[in-house]
Amino acid sequence: MSDAERAMSGRTGTLLVIASMIGTGVFTTSGHLLTDLGSPLAVLLCWLLGGVLALCGALAYGELAVRYPESGGETTLTTHLYGPRVGFVAGFVSVVVGFAAPIAASALAFGEYADRALGGGSSPLVGGLVLLAAVAVLHARGRGAVLFQDSFTLVKVLVIGGMAGIGLVSGHPPHLGHRADEVGSTLLSGEFAVGLVIVSFAYAGWNAAVYVAGELRDPARTLPRALALGAGAVTLLYVVLNAALLMAAPASALAGETEVAHVAAATLFGDGAARLVSALIALGLLSTVGAMVMTGARVAEALGRRHPGLGFLQRGTAARAPAAATLLIGGLAAAMALSAGFEALLVYTGVTLSLFAALTAAGVFVVRRRDPGHPSRAANPLHPASTLLFLALSAWMIVASLVARPLAALAAGGTLLLGLLLAIPFTRADR
């Protein structure tokens, strides 16, 4: 595709990363982390290390995407790196686990927060399904989708920045206090590694610009910048926002709570303010669902482009939107919203995606060995340190999760097995 045919600017790529990252997790996970880790400071350090993990991953993906500037994300990159069968499984996992499951979780969270904002009495599930239908239709048509995405992303960033600022000014720093020796021992525990898996769900989306690489103008320049700026901005927002939330209320009030932002606002300002916060969060989740539908559809489209048996996924509109793939993503997300709870989706997603993100990032070593002088090296100046750190943290998270959450490991293994079984006939038919 020529640069003139590429419809997305670097700004849209950066905002797409931000919109894909800022979603359900930041508003729902800190209460559960407090229960597991027992220390507000340890929770804050978990969020900071999660941001470092995302930045290291973004650097690795940036180099790979400059070398292979095509839409499709992991399915495109792993096909180039390891062959079509691995690429098919990566695409299958991306569609089912990387997008449909988080979209379902975000839609459910939208329904919950919208219900809180309206004072209760409505059905969160129905609200989430209505959102899924509306976003899928908008992105399937293509027209207006980019403007919608940019506008709601800016609204979401302003909302989080405002919440963080107010919380820092009005909160109580002593709520963060904890003995340094106890925090140090927590950082080396298996619980902290599992906490990183949960946090990684909140940071998921740091690789979003890779999925639309084929539609970005001047991808060699804009892709690494979009990934790094997006991941860096969200890390800053997440750490500041969680510091504000943890200072707003004592740990005993937040521990175990899913809607920590609502609890924090109610503690500081009362129920009226909490309902307003819930309304603003619901508004921000519109952008999250839209961003993941947009990027997930490109992964499904890439599967259709590479595998003739799935060619129907390439069907689009005059606006170059992958309509069939978009509707597939929306349908899968709706099915998951109807059949699974939020926490189950979170753990299952975190473990499975960590495995494939590590496999993809390891491809940096593969491509540098194949072509040591390729100019894409400039997009990843901290390699090998950043890539090795990403792989080591990912391995620690996966092993700890296998021990602590065997059911999630079983579900993840079942998904991989299904992907491998499907890959055999589809990749054989491609030959």
Residues of the chain with pLDDT under 50: 1-4, 317-319
Q: Which domain holds residue 58?
A: 11-426
Domain assignment present for residue 375? The answer is yes
Q: Give the whole-angstrom CA distance, residue 176 versus residue 155.
A: 29
Q: Which of 68, 19, 9 is nearest to 364 (CA)?
A: 68
Domain assignment present for residue 41? The answer is yes
Q: How many independent structural domains does the chain possess?
A: 1
- How many CB atoms are located within 10 Å of the residue 122 CB? 14
pLDDT on residue 360: 93
pLDDT on residue 386: 94
- Is the pTM higher than 0.85? The answer reads no
- Cα distances (angstroms) measured from residue 98 to each of 1, 193, 251, 260, 415: 26, 20, 31, 24, 12
Domain containing residue 99: CATH number: 1.20.1740.10
pLDDT on residue 430: 56
- How many CB atoms are located within 10 Å of the residue 421 CB? 10
Q: What 3-state class would DSSP assign to 332?
A: helix
Tens digits of residue pLDDT in 307-318: 777 777 767 644
Domain assignment present for residue 68? The answer is yes
Domain assignment present for residue 210? The answer is yes
Domain assignment present for residue 193? The answer is yes
Domain assignment present for residue 301? The answer is yes
Tens digits of residue pLDDT in 34-58: 888 888 889 999 999 999 999 899 8
Is residue 231 within 8 A of residue 206, CB to CB? The reply is yes
Q: Which residues contact 211 (CB under 8 A, 6 or more apart)?
A: 71, 72, 73, 295, 296, 298, 299
Domain assignment present for residue 3? The answer is no
pLDDT on residue 140: 65
